[in-house]
Amino acid sequence: MANILYANASKGIIYWLSVFFLIMSAFLLRPMALGESFTILSIAFMLVALVCFFINNQTILLNTVSIRNLAIGIYTIFIWIYLVIQSICFGANKPHYLFSALVTFTSVMLVYSLILSDRDINLKFFVFIRTVIIFFILSYFTTLIVSFIIPLDHMHLFDIKTSSTVDYSDKWGGVYFPLTPAYGITKILGMPFFRSPGPFREAGIFQAFIVWAYFSIRGSGKREFCLRTVLILGLFASYSTAGIVIFGLTSTVSILFNISSAVKLKVIFKEILAILMVISSLLFIFLYMPIFGLIDKLGKAQASVSDRVEATYNGLLLLVNNPLGIGYFNSNDPRIGVNFISATGLIGIPGLILFLFLVILSIFLLHNKKQRKQYVILMMPFFLTALFSQPFIDAPFVYVMLLQSINGDS
């Protein structure tokens, strides 16, 4: 009996070590703030998690989750093999970036697809990610409220200086008590205001995960209402125009997917119109109200939009002139690839087809229509953000989000 208890206790400890190291590795991957500087450490953590996982699981159950996850993982690695070969064929300006990305994606997709095949670990992992997002939102408002009493400089804990944030030195203001990264610090009427990037390198990335977290909450009780309220506040704390628009679009799709066919078209129209009116009103109030004037006060927001538009245009022009692309990391213009549309000039039409098939694969490997609808709602913030706003192609953690288990998997 004692041996059985000891064996069960040991198995439990190893199980939690696997979960712990997997979560630790996740926060050292791009697009996290520490992702570029600590990727090697992340790989080390995920390998420890994999060893712990295999100790507890001598065989991998080939259920629908694991088959789907392995298919997504292997196919993603195949995409990066193509990108490496394509870039080499066109000169490979930065071969070290290419092979580093290939090693990272191979490690991440194999390890995560295997470990997240365990339904229990999958659930705990993504619930923890959501919990961390909520924590950073609460930390932001704690810092903001306390800063009205105690000068923000007195709450400074440390600075984040990575190869990624060097380019954002005019936006990053360090990390403040209790654990709040400040992005785009400005003063309004003498009081400090700043955007919340959460654990990510940019506030524009944080918004996608906030919207995902909002729609990942199931149920309609008081607890769920409170969590959703915090997440809505966090969305405005990111001061992301794209986040507001993406939330509105995702809400509309969610309503369309979940409304019964018996409901009249007039009711559907009213629901969508109500959402759009609320979103539009909030967007105007929080971005253009006379006292705050967040777009102008935070600075460079207009420049950011024009830069993205120009980079998107240049990327499409590059695609027209080079249908096969010029190779990822091969552009001399650092703005090319600022979003997926812009990056098509680098990856070419074959790369575009490969990524589109990844999206299709991740949807249709789900078990039924209900799961596919739920999955589309959850992933829509990432698809839209990648398409128009952020360079997610070489951000491994975004691909990990494809591996989440949807209710009803068997």
Read off the tokens for 141.
């408002």
Q: For residues 66 and 186, what is the distance between their CA atoms, to the nearest angstrom?
A: 47
From 358, 360, 359, 380, select the one nearest 77 (Cα to Cα).
358
* Residue 114: per-residue pLDDT: 92
Q: Which residues pair with 186 in a beta bridge?
A: 193
Q: For residues 355 and 252, what is the distance between their CA atoms, to the nearest angstrom?
A: 25
Q: For residues 138 and 234, what is the distance between their CA atoms, to the nearest angstrom?
A: 8
C-alpha distance across the termini of the chain, in Å: 33
**Better-scored residue on pLDDT, 215 or 152:** 215
pLDDT band at 169 (very low <50, low <70, confident <90, very high): very low
* Residue 44: per-residue pLDDT: 96
Q: For residues 397 and 6, what is the distance between their CA atoms, to the nearest angstrom?
A: 36
Instruction: State the CB neighbour count (10 A cutoff) for residue 135.
Output: 15
Q: For residues 9 and 203, what is the distance between their CA atoms, to the nearest angstrom?
A: 41
- Is residue 93 helix, strand or coil? coil
What is the average per-residue pLDDT within 344-363? 96
Starting from the edge strand earliest in sequence, which strands make up the sheet with 156-158, in order? 156-158, 172-176, 180-188, 191-195
pLDDT tens for residues 38-73?
999 999 999 999 999 988 876 666 665 688 999 999
Q: For residues 35 and 58, what is the distance between their CA atoms, to the nearest angstrom?
A: 31
Domain range list for the chain: 1-59, 66-117+300-410, 130-297
pLDDT band at 167 (very low <50, low <70, confident <90, very high): very low
Q: For residues 201 and 27, what is the distance between their CA atoms, to the nearest angstrom?
A: 11
Going by their DSSP bridges, the two strands 172-176 and 156-158 should be labelled as antiparallel
Q: How far is CA 51 from CA 11, 56, 237, 253, in A?
A: 13, 9, 39, 41
Least confident of 127-141, 257-271, 385-399: 257-271
* Residue 153: per-residue pLDDT: 85
- Is 93 within 8 Å of 330 (Cβ atoms)? yes
Q: For residues 314 and 26, what is the distance between their CA atoms, to the nearest angstrom?
A: 33
Question: To which H or E segment does residue 160 belong?
Answer: none
Q: For residues 163 and 39, what is the distance between their CA atoms, to the nearest angstrom?
A: 12
Counting residues of the chain whose pLDDT is more than 70, the rounded percentage is: 79
Q: For residues 305 and 299, what is the distance between their CA atoms, to the nearest angstrom?
A: 12
pLDDT band at 86 (very low <50, low <70, confident <90, very high): very high
CA 138 to chain centre: 19
Instruction: State the CB neighbour count (10 A cutoff) for residue 219.
Output: 9
- Is residue 187 helix, strand or coil? strand
Residue 122 has pLDDT above 50, yes or no: yes
What is the average per-residue pLDDT within 299-312? 67
The DSSP call for residue 316 is: H
Q: For residues 286 and 318, what is the distance between their CA atoms, to the nearest angstrom?
A: 37
pLDDT tens for residues 262-280?
555 666 666 666 666 666 6
* Cis, peptide link before residue 31, omega less than 30° from 0: yes
* Residue 64: per-residue pLDDT: 58
